[in-house]
Structure 1
């Protein structure tokens, strides 16, 4: 029974619902954490806590972008967008990376200012309490987001999950900074930690941007996945060869194109039936893919505009 439930999540409607629910959960968590951290930051004036608050504001902005991007990405293809709207997801993720870098720079400026003029943190206990609450809420959200990513492969939800996963480390660091700063009376720890968090945020932003550009630049699927496509097509007894496999990913949709070679004396109807059979097998392996197959007579050499660099990528 559990297996059937898992398989049903591969169907587009179920995957779409998971994406949408993930954006609702992310927005709700961001709003709650902003309210809690804002109240405590005002009373403590801690740069470490400010770094966590800034990160939550960025998470909220990014989650809001995701909220609209995920809905746009699952809109069916129309007259103006024949290949669908899937690239809304990597575009949103790229926007998130810009949000992250901007907030990190502002945070590092504040950390430098406090390094020059350090001040003791007041009300550390309240700051620690809100951080413990933030960790508990964030753990629940990250667990749910990983569930969604596992069943949808959403890059936008993946970018959000990366934000909140880094927040766990950030929140633990804030707790350690507040505890050490108040017990050891070392106010310099507060801005030092804030600056370190700024560098951490920039590192994560660069990773998100790189993942987004992979999809926006129509990079091929991994070689292992392309090999699966080839093996499925070549597995049909009447397909003599496969060539010119081209793939790309746009949000929730994978586009797969390939040429299959068959007996040149075969009639058109039979060739069409074989092509449909191969397409159905590939579709079963890649449920959210759009597949285009071109039939060639065996032995006919075609001009390849962009030959593969190696035989493995043909």
Structure 2
């Protein structure tokens, strides 16, 4: 069964709230990290700060793209603007890959030139603040994803979850550095960088699927078939096509009806089936074509 999404107003609220809070959190963390880096001259803090700049850039993209994706259909975009979310997902993945590569380069340099930290406790306090802020942000994004299944929010949440792991690793590496293991922060950062790249791969795949109009899972088509066949005068259903763009799910199928049914009756049945599908899937846009049952009987492949 397909999980219902929230209403349009609820969808709009959650994606806007999550993207706005991400901006607030990212800017707050940047200010704290700038202060910590200035005070400590720490390479690992500079790497964390640079990663946060990538986060802000990604969150700014989300902030504007999500609002664009929520715009209703117009004369130039008759199917709406929902695919903008998938484009944002690809941009997010690019930022994630960039962050990961930057961490690798920075860590390799750190391995070549290890150095003790100055005022390490300031870096610790800044990192603890970042961890707490990131936990709150990830929780907000989780609530938004649960209610909207937004690709853009999911991509944003992925790199903030990665940031959470990175900052926990930074805390551990700071402690190990104070114990004399100067290269540990670099090795931790390299491991996190590869984790970032692996996570970005799933975002690229999901965004590409949406942009290429990949068919939704078979269970989704089965649900549509069951809903259509619940009307006693529907003999069958075939050529089910589905795709998703942002919050909108586009559904097309053919209904098999009696040959001699009046056009008005066929129209009423189609309206009933459409209302049934939209009740189960509020975000659906449904297009139905009526076929006489004799046509499908002569062409078995149609009813397959």
Bin of the TM-score, shorter chain as denominator length: over 0.9
Tell me what 1:250 maps to.
245
Q: Deviations over 1:82-103 (max 9, x none)?
A: 1010000000110111112122
Deviation at 1:45, TM superposition (A): 3.4
- CA contact under 8 A between 2:177 and 2:185: conserved in structure 1? yes
Aligned pair 1:172/2:172, yes or no? Answer: no
Tell me what 1:277 maps to.
272
Aligned pair 1:10/2:10, yes or no? Answer: no
Deviation at 1:56, TM superposition (A): 1.5
Alignment of 1:189-268 (within 5 A): 189-268=184-263
Q: How many residues are matched?
A: 300
Deviation at 1:153, TM superposition (A): 1.3
- Structure 2 distance, partners of 1:233, 1:123, is 68
Tell me what 1:4 maps to.
none
Deviates more, 1:112-121 or 1:213-222: 112-121
Aligned pair 1:27/2:23, yes or no? Answer: yes
Deviates more, 1:196-205 or 1:268-277: 196-205
Quick one: structure 1 residues 33 and 67, their matched pair in 2 at CA, closer, same or farther if it must change by over 3 Å? same
Runs of at least 5 residues in structure 2 that lack an aligned partner in the other structure: none
Tell me what 1:3 maps to.
none
Tell me what 1:287 maps to.
282
- Structure 1 distance, partners of 2:294, 2:45, is 68
What secondary structure is seen at the aligned counterpart in 2 of 1:300? helix
Q: Deviations over 1:147-184 (max 9, x none)?
A: 1111111110111111112222111111111011112x
Deviation at 1:42, TM superposition (A): 2.8
What secondary structure is seen at the aligned counterpart in 2 of 1:219? coil
- CA contact under 8 A between 1:74 and 1:86: conserved in structure 2? yes
Q: Deviations over 1:245-269 (max 9, x none)?
A: 0000001111000111011111000
Q: Out of 141, 144, 149, which is 2:140 matched to?
A: 144
Deviates more, 1:293-302 or 1:255-264: 293-302
- Structure 1 distance, partners of 2:184, 2:218, is 47
Tell me what 1:299 maps to.
294
Quick one: structure 1 residues 46 and 210, their matched pair in 2 at CA, closer, same or farther if it must change by over 3 Å? farther
- CA contact under 8 A between 1:47 and 1:190: conserved in structure 2? no
Deviation at 1:303, TM superposition (A): 11
- Structure 2 distance, partners of 1:46, 1:222, is 48
For normalisation by structure 1, the TM-score amounts to 0.91
Tell me what 2:64 maps to.
68
What secondary structure is seen at the aligned counterpart in 1 of 2:294? coil
Tell me what 1:135 maps to.
131
- Structure 2 distance, partners of 1:90, 1:38, is 32
For normalisation by structure 2, the TM-score amounts to 0.93
Deviation at 1:289, TM superposition (A): 1.0
Runs of at least 5 residues in structure 1 that lack an aligned partner in the other structure: 1-6
- Structure 1 distance, partners of 2:136, 2:224, is 37
- CA contact under 8 A between 1:47 and 1:194: conserved in structure 2? no
